[in-house]
Amino acid sequence: MTAATQIVTEDLRLWIVAQAEAGCRPDDVLAAMKTSGWDEDVALEAMEETLRQRLDELGPRPVKPLLPGSPVPEPPRGSSPEVVLADGHRVRVLTTLRLPRVVVFGGLLTDAECAGLMALAAPRLLRSETVDNSTGGSEVNAARTSDGMFFERGEAPLIQAIEQRIAELVRWPLENGEGLQVLRYRPGAEYKPHHDYFDPAHAGTANILQRGGQRVGTLVMYLNTPEGGGATTFPDVGLEVAPVRGNAVFFSYDRAHASTKTLHGGAPVTAGEKWVATKWLREGVFT
């Protein structure tokens, strides 16, 4: 059966609608149609037209009001350009935004601490995975072209010291933090724009949230300064944070919703390597 002779029947349209309303991914529906002999272009057009008609039939849906946001980590506010921590370590406040809530810190880590984290992580680096919201497990993600690993919370004295510093700086319980993740991006590697919170619409989110609730904050620490590229980008607000060794960018999100404007990504590395350590913060105790 050639593309020229393929006819989209009412039965096929009903099947497409049934798959969509059952929660099947468009890619899976397309793959099933191609396996059955449908030309890809014909299948795509049939899916788009059918689903557009179905949406027209359903009419506009009421907009659900946003629920009140949850408490979030919050670095000290004020006019001081520097935060002095209990251990005497001084962290500079380089940039702040209100929406999204973003704070860029200078000198969060020392050169020795950056080198130490890289040395501890290097032997354990593997192709990076992300949480699969549909199952609650992990999977290799084509949007994330890097190598990575996770430390257990408090795994080593250096890890303990950094985690304690973060907890004090953002005023959030140490036990509410996930273990540090270290990533290495080689030339050309990137992390396309995404949100860090877990999407409540996905089937696996309920399982994920059993380990401490929703994510409410992210801290990305730069362990080196790449020769080119690698900025942390916030497309919704046109912000780019340059990756400078020892510096970090913090952002919080009080709800799992795009209104937080925390869509962010890692721009491609154009020369050299980029190393980062990320700390995700949960609503409750992370176990």
pLDDT digits (tens, 9 = 90+) for 200-258: 999 999 999 999 999 999 999 999 999 999 999 999 999 999 999 999 999 999 999 99
SS3 category, 242: coil
Eight-state DSSP code of residue 255: S
Of residues 120 and 127, which shows the higher confidence score? 120
Q: Answer yes or no: are the C-beta atoms of 90 and 84 closer than 8 Å.
A: yes
The average confidence (pLDDT) of the chain is 90
How far CA 208 is from CA of 70, 72, 201, 205, in Å, comes to: 18, 19, 13, 5
Of residues 56 and 230, which shows the higher confidence score? 230
CATH architecture of the domain covering 82-282: Sandwich (2.60)
pLDDT digits (tens, 9 = 90+) for 71-111: 999 998 877 899 999 989 999 999 999 999 999 999 999 99
Q: 129 falls in which pLDDT band (50, 70, 90)? A: low
Cis peptide preceding 68, ω within 30 of 0: no
Q: 127 falls in which pLDDT band (50, 70, 90)? A: confident
pLDDT at 140 over 70: no
Q: How open is the CA angle 79-234-273, to the nearest 5 degrees? A: 100
Q: How open is the CA angle 194-268-282, to the nearest 5 degrees? A: 35
Tell me what pLDDT residue 80 has: 82
pLDDT above 70 covers a percentage of the chain that reads 90
Q: 65 falls in which pLDDT band (50, 70, 90)? A: low
Q: Are strands 215-222 and 248-252 parallel, antiparallel or unpaired?
A: antiparallel
Tell me what pLDDT residue 4 has: 53
Measure the CA–CA gap between 107 and 92, rounded to whole angstroms: 6
Give burial (CB, 10 Å; 0-12/13-18/19+) of 232. Answer: buried
Measure the CA–CA gap between 126 and 158, rounded to whole angstroms: 21
Measure the CA–CA gap between 99 and 94, rounded to whole angstroms: 16
pLDDT digits (tens, 9 = 90+) for 11-21: 999 999 999 88
Q: 1 falls in which pLDDT band (50, 70, 90)? A: very low
Q: 284 falls in which pLDDT band (50, 70, 90)? A: very high
pLDDT digits (tens, 9 = 90+) for 171-191: 999 999 999 999 999 999 999
* Tokens coding 263: 């869509």
Tell me what pLDDT residue 133 has: 52
Nearest to 214 by CA among 168, 253, 175: 253
